Structure 1
Amino acid sequence: MSCSRMNNVSPSTSYQEEASIYELSIRVIEARNIHGTDVVTNPDCYVRLWLPTALKEKKKTRTVWNSTNPVWDETFHFRVHSRVKNILELSLHDEDLGTGDDHLYTVSYDLGNIPLEKTVEESFSLNKELDEDLHVEFHMEIIPETPKKITTNGVLVRPEMAALEVKVDKLRMEPFKKKTELALTVKGSYEDSYRTVFIPSSTTRSNSNETFVFHYPKDWEAELTAGLRRVYPSLDVTFSNEPANEFSNSTTVPLTLISPENEVKIQLPAMEVKPLEMQLKLKECPDNLDVRLGFNLCDKEKEFLQKRQKVVAAALKKVLQLKGDLVGEEVPVVAVMATGGGARAMSSLYSHLSGLQKLGFLDCVTYIAGASGSTWTMSKLYEDSNWSQKNLSESMRKAKKHVTKKKTGAFSMQRLNYYRKELQQIAQEGQKTSFTDLWGLMIESMFHTGRDESKLSDEQVALNKGQNPLPIYLAMNVKQDDMSTLDFKEWCEFSPYEVGLLKYGAYIRTEDFGSEFYMGRLMKRRKEPRICYLQGLWGNVFSLNLVDTWCLTTNLDTFWDQWVKDRIKDIDKEDIRLRRESAHMKTSLFTPSSTFSKILKGVLTKRPIDGEQQNFLRGLHLHKDYIQNPDFSTWKDTHVDAFPNQLTTLAENLCLVDAGYFINASFPPLLRPDRKVDIILSFDYTLDTPLLVMDQTCTYCTMQGIGFPKVSLSEEERKKHKECYIFIDHDNPNAPIVLHFPLVNDTFRKYKAPGVPRSPEEMSEGDVDVSGLLSPYFLTNFTYSERDFDGLMKLTDYNVQNNSQLIVDALRMAVERRKTRNLLSQMYQTRKHSVIDPLLPEQPTKNSMPLPKGLKK
């Protein structure tokens, strides 16, 4: 069955579409007036063609030597999937025999611009001033095959997968006279290559057959390359990475010639003995996915919400002294948002949650979202499956013990040896290790007693009855070594149920984080990491690159934009614009930077102490209309989103870092429409900038069309910092009410409890320094004195209790909003089947918040 979106509204779950396969012919004709980089001789030009959605490797024309007007007239063929966003990259190079080839230009061209059964010739302008251009001819036609079934969520596409089985018949083969290596390669497959060695022996014939399996996209232009070579004593085959097609005896078989109905036999020349015979067989793969594609909530979270709703309804009835019960959609969703801030955030969150508990508000909370240091508190609390139903004083006592103890033990020889053994064990299990893993082990040593065996998925036990709020931990996926965080970032959320990237609507089970995926299927299961390794990932205060540090400390990005950032421009001609559909990408020209800029960019963007995680999007592709999908558009916020060949589906690994490098907050997971959050209690643990997080989030949400209240304060109001700010967007009922609690010391200086003044002898206890350069709570300080710890706990607890009436008022407003919305919904459902009432208010939409002047969506 074929499904399609209507009126630009995408379904929240995955669905199936029918797809065709096209035969694409690309004729690279010529280039004109190419000057190159050598001032002495004319350039020696060739063109590379890269279409990663059809073939992993790049194709290349021959080199035309010493010519400013090279003519190639070469034609290349690709199999193109109709439902995938296919962007062809044509790069022009000047070959240099003495040094590396010079990269002159790259043109990115959306193949959706090519009409079927018609030949289109494009002249790409490379440099208008020098009149440089490149002439290419395209032709696309449908291959007469049975339509394919693909699974998609409107952003990601999972084409059909095939499995190639290669069987080497050792029972019938003649023994090799000398040690020989067999290499098998399918570029772009999950396995990529296999290698095996035949050792001369009288028992060779008794060895069993060997079978190798390659998983790859069924409709790719893939091919198997098999090669044999003799292994000499001086050559260690274990470290040999020579491609199979470079072996002296090799053969290549296009996999499009193999079908599930027949088995193909090939013979590989084998030097002194008879040819090596292999059987090739194609197998269909199941359609089931292990990556959940969808922008809705998972079933386990939905089950939790039903249970938690009853707990919240009972708590609200008590807190608000309601006469009747709240049921169903009348129950508002309250969330706690905690920022990062190292040990300061870790300590303060304990106190804030304790303050909510004392007031009876903690059972009104459905979600707790955290970033960086606040996640250390959350993961510790959820070791107890009933933590929110117990007095938090004991948890705070344990936290105090760890925060106030000396941290020198974390750097002792005994602990360093422990770290080394732990990282060696991870490496032996086939996973990469990094400083992020080491940092996680150090956090374990500093804030835990002994080895912490808990895992994130273990926290499901703390949710099975709805007894605690659902924890959500936030991180960001960034580029590891060629972009700043401002240029590319993607929100990644962790919960006890799932780990997922919001922008793509792709999620995996938390138990499977760290395992290997390909084309949406779990290929190699690995052990779920201990929670300490995730704590190191969520709160890695050391993984900034230099350009991120520059932007965070100066708020100036002009140097980056002018001298280092890639130069990309639109080169579309008018005729292309007229025939382009709205989902098609602009034709862009990339001009490489100078050698100095490349070196500088490498220094500025390198993240030397970041870790790499398995990319569970590997092998998936972007839908041809992904850029129009409203769910994708909600979270896309960088120019890179318009360049699909640079997005995460083609990345080898994820590079997950502390979310605080962009906005030191954990709002994004709470703003997903399906979570329907009505109130956010924002606990901000940054120093000296009590409104920065709110300003940044408001700006971000406005640009993305996400419902969020405006931060409209006068200069006078900003000068006098308050214990609590309340932000409401009355024009958009779908925007949450935000109560923002910054880390400020105001009335606490004179009052030890709400309405209870301090005596002269107690005034010193109100002197808690949470601002200024001399504050003991600076980010890299992980050890507090007992006085400083106690002072911070009392201050944050006081600020919550002193503003309890604001929380009550917000809860009451949220209940009224819910009741009104529920009533309108019932009226709408009743009347839409009878008579349409023109006076009935329209239902608000996610993007209904008006934009401030001067900003465009």
Structure 2
Amino acid sequence: MNTTSPLTFYKEKASNYELTVRIIKAQNIHGTDVVTKPDCYVCLRLPTSLAGRKRTKTVWNNRDPVWDETFHFRIHSQVKNILELSVYDEDVGTADDHLFTVSYDLGNVPLNENVVENFTLNTEFQEELQVEFTLVIIPESQKKVTTNGVLVCPEMSALQVEVQKQKRDPFKKKTELALSVRGSFEDSHSILLRDSSHELNSRETAVFHFPRDLGTELTASLRRVYSSFDVTFTNETENDGSNQTTVPLSVISPMESDIHVQVPAMEGKPLDIQIGLTECPEKLDVRLGFDLCDKEKIFLQKRQRLVADTLKRVLKLEEDLVGEEIPVVAVMATGGGVRAMTCLYSHLCGLQNMGLLDCVTYIASASGSTWTTTKLFEDPNWSQSNLSEPINNAKKHVTKNKISIFSVDRLKYYRKELQQAAVDGQKPSFTDLWGLMLESMLQNGRNENRLSDQQAALENGQNPLPIYLAINVKQDTISTLDFKEWCEFTPYEVGLIKYGAFIRTEDYGSEFYMGRLMKKHPEPRICFLQGLWGNVFSLNLVDTWYLTTQLDTFWDTWVKDRIKDIDKEDIRLRRESAHTKTRLFTPAGTFSRIWKGVLTNRPIDGEQHNFLQGLYLHKDYHQQPQFSTWKDSNLDNFPNKLTPLADNLCLVDAGYFINASFPPLLRPERKVDVIISFDYTLDTPLLAVEQTCNYCTTQGIGFPKVSLSEEERKTHKECYVFNDDEINNCPIVLHFPLVNDTFKKFKEPGVLRTPEEMSDGNVDVTGAFSPYFLTNFTYSERDFDRLNKLTQYNLANNTELILDALQTAVQRRKARNNSCQMQQTVAQKKT
């Protein structure tokens, strides 16, 4: 393993291997049919080598089928190669029955040795599958690949296919050339052989981008094209393989640019095509690394100066704070619809009135609180201006009637915008429609702003850096409990934290392949992101069940996939620690499959282009500390099911797991010392911070212990201070739940209400009859004002707790800085 720092990408030596898999036999296979014996065949899936599947022949009516068939794959030495062997029972007239799948890490196969594995499929019936593996290195294939220790980007090549078109179709009927390179970015291309231009015998070129080191093939065939009125279609059934040419691309050198290939014709002479390979530039458009991007580092340097001056003033320090002595303070806001949007406005205004807003370096938000930050950052100097105007503007939209969003004109507008989004390369969905509806409810008109435009508000470090949070989930068949990955958005980058992969924000929505920007699309308007971050309609039933009951026993007992470790002792002895276990997947029965579909389906989710497509997981990805730290799901042990091999991302509201935006602030690279946590939940104001504590404890992330007595759970305070000196790099968390305690009697800190003012203190932030429930998007002016005053009061009433936390953070920073300087001095003396 390369010893280079895992914070950035680096080059690593790699080779290509020739893998031979011989499917020998199986025994005692019972299948699902009661009367007849099974008709078995085996499917082989190795997505890191081949885009499709390979399969054996079917052995009919036999419990002990013998295939003795051999298959060849070309694999990459630094990639995590997991071969899936699936046993099926073929049925005539109905779908084939999936009996078992064995997931086998090819890292278990030593070089230049034959290894025979007997996979136990069912101990009760002594069902087994016998397979032989052989692995040899391909001579002169060693090269260097780009990796960050979690992801690997092999070399990419471009295949050019050129054909000469003619004024007249060279064949008796209208014909097109069908080209396919499975696993490439383009996948397929069709060229009509008749030239409709004014040039005589023009030439057309098709280009395919594909992984150079894998076993990719070009397939070329001729097929007839038929026209019926204005509709043109092809007859796929005429192509039986006899007029098809397959060219293995791994045997072609990039130096060969003029190779002639003949494609058999259905009638007449074969068609000549010309192919050639070129190597693509190594420069990647996906940033691989776990460190902060350069633009954020520059912002931090500029922001530090303002933070240092502000802390010196509010804490009445005698000396200036410099360098590592300056603590990083962050605001964390939960979701909560319009309630969260309203409260975050007033909390930020409260910090400004207290002179503390310029101490803040980051503002992380999720769901409804993102609607506040996206609006504020339209003004490049919002934190240096009085926030009363933005609050009044928000009040105008929150209190207005929303019925107009369903008018005929608005519906026409939505349709037009979604059509334009499709033209711009997006995949329009209900999430996008929801974003347009939010725009109508919360904006004065069409908002042309985009997330990358917010860079102007950070140019001189004049405002905190906004971070928006979502989670990537599986669209179908898998619950959020079993799979979720944090995805953060900033004005600079969008990235999946676990993989250490980021793209420029202005490139979000574009199409990537193997780390390269392949097809640039316009960056989506901010309303589409607001719909994504705050889509309360993307829950599937099992998510709803978990969020309301916190119980997942039904899912675990009846619906969850049945997977078990079937490694034998000899495999365990030769396996390296980075190799994954051999696992057996047994498909669920009909009842469980039906329940699973009902519970996990997300019918109104949208899809986004997967910027990890074409990248692969490193063979030692599990040993990378950053990946382990952000390990979120059981699927992390199944590389073939992780995001790099997915066609699309499915990004949803982060509140489906934990209704908070802590994760981006807990990245060690951001070095956050104090988190001012604003929780806008009505009924469970401590749940999010407790869930975050449990999550961080499990993942080994520095977070203070949240230990509450029964009395504290029943009677909520205005502010909780969570601090733990025993945990390294653990931030101080000041947690402000949405409660109405002393505000009932005090209109300002220390100022009692008069009898006439007592009614203003009756703000209902609990119970089913609260005017601030999640799906209410319209408040009365009185309700808006009272919520605004309540949140500002709670903040101001706990000023001393905030100042104490800031003072403690400064002291810790100075102590660490002095300790580092002493260690450096000692080291210098020794040398």
TM-score, length basis structure 2? 0.98
Structure 2 counterparts to residues 498-537 of structure 1, below 5 A: 498-537=493-532
Partner of residue 355, structure 1: 350
Q: Do the aligned partners of 2:164 and 2:201 also contact (CA within 8 Å) in 1?
A: no
Whether 1:212 aligns to 2:223 is no
Q: Provide Cα deviations, 1:520-559, integer angstroms capped at 9, x if missing partner.
A: 0000000000000000000001000011111111221111
Structure 2 counterparts to residues 625-644 of structure 1, below 5 A: 625-644=620-639
Q: CA deviation at 1:250?
A: 1.6
Partner of residue 676, structure 2: 681
SS in 2 for 1:135: strand
Q: Give the one of 242, 249, 254 matched to 2:243.
A: 249
Q: Give the one of 691, 694, 697 matched to 2:689.
A: 694
Partner of residue 115, structure 2: 120
Q: Do the aligned partners of 1:184 and 1:244 also contact (CA within 8 Å) in 2?
A: no
Whether 1:110 aligns to 2:105 is yes
Alpha-carbon RMSD: 1.6
Q: Do the aligned partners of 1:170 and 1:204 also contact (CA within 8 Å) in 2?
A: no
Partner of residue 841, structure 1: none
Partner of residue 5, structure 1: 3
Q: Which whole-Å CA distance do the structure 1 matches of 2:426 and 2:727 have between them?
A: 47
SS in 1 for 2:227: coil
Structure 2 counterparts to residues 165-314 of structure 1, below 5 A: 165-170=160-165, 175-199=170-194, 206-234=200-228, 242=236, 246=240, 249-262=243-256, 263-314=258-309
Structure 2 counterparts to residues 791-810 of structure 1, below 5 A: 791-810=786-805
Residue type of the partner of 1:226? A
Q: Provide Cα deviations, 1:789-835, integer angstroms capped at 9, x if missing partner.
A: 00000000000100001000000000000000000011111112335
Distance 1:485 1:278, change over 3 A: same
Q: Do the aligned partners of 1:175 and 1:204 also contact (CA within 8 Å) in 2?
A: no
Q: CA deviation at 1:233?
A: 3.0
Q: CA deviation at 1:604?
A: 1.1
Q: Provide Cα deviations, 1:126-177, integer angstroms capped at 9, x if missing partner.
A: 0000000000001111110241211000000000001100011236997333
Q: CA deviation at 1:732?
A: 2.0
Whether 1:561 aligns to 2:559 is no
Partner of residue 451, structure 1: 446
Structure 2 counterparts to residues 9-408 of structure 1, below 5 A: 10-170=5-165, 175-199=170-194, 206-234=200-228, 242=236, 246=240, 249-262=243-256, 263-408=258-403
Identity %: 71
Distance 1:799 1:507, change over 3 A: same
Distance 1:542 1:239, change over 3 A: farther
SS in 2 for 1:251: strand
Partner of residue 725, structure 1: 720
Q: Which whole-Å CA distance do the structure 2 matches of 1:20 and 1:241 have between them?
A: 42
Residue type of the partner of 1:5? T
SS in 2 for 1:157: strand
SS in 2 for 1:4: coil
Distance 1:120 1:521, change over 3 A: same
Q: Provide Cα deviations, 1:405-457, integer angstroms capped at 9, x if missing partner.
A: 01001111110110011111112334311000000000000000010000000
Partner of residue 854, structure 1: none
Q: Which whole-Å CA distance do the structure 2 matches of 1:241 and 1:93 have between them?
A: 30
Q: Do the aligned partners of 2:223 and 2:238 also contact (CA within 8 Å) in 1?
A: no
Q: Which whole-Å CA distance do the structure 2 matches of 1:759 and 1:530 have between them?
A: 48
Q: Which whole-Å CA distance do the structure 2 matches of 1:417 and 1:669 have between them?
A: 38
Q: Which runs of 5+ in 2 are unaligned?
A: none
Q: Which whole-Å CA distance do the structure 1 matches of 2:39 and 2:674 have between them?
A: 64
Distance 1:30 1:766, change over 3 A: same
Partner of residue 744, structure 2: 749
Q: Provide Cα deviations, 1:73-118, integer angstroms capped at 9, x if missing partner.
A: 1111111100000000000000111211110000000000011111
Q: CA deviation at 1:199?
A: 3.7
Q: Which whole-Å CA distance do the structure 2 matches of 1:736 and 1:545 have between them?
A: 34
SS in 2 for 1:385: coil
SS in 2 for 1:713: coil
SS in 1 for 2:819: helix
SS in 2 for 1:97: coil
Structure 2 counterparts to residues 391-430 of structure 1, below 5 A: 391-430=386-425
Q: Do the aligned partners of 2:223 and 2:239 also contact (CA within 8 Å) in 1?
A: no
Structure 2 counterparts to residues 587-598 of structure 1, below 5 A: 587-598=582-593
Q: Which whole-Å CA distance do the structure 1 matches of 2:334 and 2:233 have between them?
A: 46
Q: Provide Cα deviations, 1:227-265, integer angstroms capped at 9, x if missing partner.
A: 111223349875659499646622111112211222210
Residue type of the partner of 2:289? G
Q: Do the aligned partners of 1:183 and 1:226 also contact (CA within 8 Å) in 2?
A: yes
Q: Which whole-Å CA distance do the structure 1 matches of 2:238 and 2:454 have between them?
A: 47
Q: Do the aligned partners of 2:20 and 2:71 also contact (CA within 8 Å) in 1?
A: yes
Q: Which whole-Å CA distance do the structure 1 matches of 2:449 and 2:61 have between them?
A: 65
Whether 1:763 aligns to 2:758 is yes
Q: Which whole-Å CA distance do the structure 1 matches of 2:700 and 2:646 have between them?
A: 28
Q: CA deviation at 1:637?
A: 2.3
Q: Do the aligned partners of 2:166 and 2:195 also contact (CA within 8 Å) in 1?
A: no
Distance 1:357 1:217, change over 3 A: same
User: Mean alpha-carbon deviation: is it higher for 632-641 or for 467-476?
Assistant: 632-641
Structure 2 counterparts to residues 829-844 of structure 1, below 5 A: 829-835=824-830
Q: Do the aligned partners of 2:169 and 2:193 also contact (CA within 8 Å) in 1?
A: no
Q: Do the aligned partners of 1:23 and 1:143 also contact (CA within 8 Å) in 2?
A: yes
Q: Which whole-Å CA distance do the structure 2 matches of 1:290 and 1:731 have between them?
A: 41
Q: Which whole-Å CA distance do the structure 2 matches of 1:130 and 1:270 have between them?
A: 52
Q: Which whole-Å CA distance do the structure 2 matches of 1:272 and 1:71 have between them?
A: 41
Q: Which whole-Å CA distance do the structure 2 matches of 1:582 and 1:270 have between them?
A: 53
Residue type of the partner of 1:799? N
Q: Do the aligned partners of 2:328 and 2:671 also contact (CA within 8 Å) in 1?
A: yes
SS in 2 for 1:181: strand
Q: Do the aligned partners of 1:176 and 1:200 also contact (CA within 8 Å) in 2?
A: no
Partner of residue 775, structure 2: 780
Q: Which runs of 5+ in 1 are unaligned?
A: 837-857
Q: Which whole-Å CA distance do the structure 1 matches of 2:91 and 2:170 have between them?
A: 46
SS in 2 for 1:832: helix
Q: Do the aligned partners of 1:161 and 1:284 also contact (CA within 8 Å) in 2?
A: yes
Partner of residue 839, structure 1: none
Distance 1:89 1:228, change over 3 A: same
Residue type of the partner of 1:211? T
Q: Provide Cα deviations, 1:445-472, integer angstroms capped at 9, x if missing partner.
A: 0000010000000000000000000000
Q: Do the aligned partners of 1:229 and 1:247 also contact (CA within 8 Å) in 2?
A: no
User: Mean alpha-carbon deviation: is it higher for 683-692 or for 234-243?
Assistant: 234-243
Residue type of the partner of 1:325? D
Whether 1:574 aligns to 2:569 is yes
Q: CA deviation at 1:204?
A: 8.4
Q: Do the aligned partners of 1:171 and 1:205 also contact (CA within 8 Å) in 2?
A: no
Q: Give the one of 784, 788, 791 matched to 1:789.
A: 784
SS in 2 for 1:306: helix
Q: Which whole-Å CA distance do the structure 2 matches of 1:270 and 1:800 have between them?
A: 79
Q: Do the aligned partners of 2:540 and 2:599 also contact (CA within 8 Å) in 1?
A: yes
Q: Which whole-Å CA distance do the structure 1 matches of 2:735 and 2:595 have between them?
A: 40
Q: Do the aligned partners of 1:185 and 1:244 also contact (CA within 8 Å) in 2?
A: no
